[in-house]
């Protein structure tokens, strides 16, 4: 997977948010090497499945961190009580905290690079 951060949304203020990270789409080739396709929050709506074309110079590449840095941000999720109970039961069986189980799930599905061994 490839990710890009918007560094210039001039003229596309409604479509792009400066500083936001988008997933780059390789489903359909861009019309030119100076264009890239990105997937935004309209994904799943009719016509948005392949992403939208933008000038590549509006974005910079973002690589997922592959070191063991301390987290510098958090994410709060809201779950139905039954789903939280299932997650808790799975965490007990895995002998992990619920947050460690969710982090593992995210890392497995995002195919992040392995941390560098020091």
What are the sequence ranges of the domains in the chain? 3-62, 70-118
What is the Cα–Cα distance from 47 to 28, expressed in whole angstroms? 13
* 83: pLDDT strictly greater than 90: no
8 confidence band (pLDDT: 50, 70, 90): very high
Lateral strand order in the sheet of 35-39: 52-55, 35-39, 21-25, 3-6, 59-62
**Residue-level pLDDT at 106:** 83
**Residue-level pLDDT at 113:** 61
- Strands 59-62 vs 52-55: parallel, antiparallel or unpaired: unpaired
What pTM was computed for the model? Answer: 0.60
| pLDDT tens digits, one per residue of 100-116 | 888 888 878 876 666 55
| pLDDT tens digits, one per residue of 12-67 | 998 899 999 998 887 766 568 889 988 887 777 777 777 888 999 999 998 766 66
Q: Within 10 Å of residue 15's Cβ, how many Cβ atoms?
A: 13
- CA distances from residue 69 to 64, 73, 116 in whole angstroms, order as listed: 12, 11, 11
């Amino acid at each position: 997977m490839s990710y890009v951060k918007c560094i210039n949304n001039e003229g596309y203020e409604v479509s792009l948010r400066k500083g936001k990270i988008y997933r780059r789409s390789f489903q359909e080739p861009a019309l030119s090497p100076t264009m890239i396709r990105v997937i935004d929050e309209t994904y799943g709506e009719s016509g948005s499945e392949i992403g939208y074309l933008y000038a590549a110079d509006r974005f910079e590449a973002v690589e997922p961190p592959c070191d063991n840095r301390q987290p510098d941000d958090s994410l709060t999720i809201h779950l139905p009580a039954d789903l939280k109970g299932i997650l808790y039961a799975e965490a007990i069986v895995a002998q992990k905290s619920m947050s460690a189980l969710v982090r593992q799930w995210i890392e497995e599905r995002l195919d992040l690079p392995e941390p560098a061994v020091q």
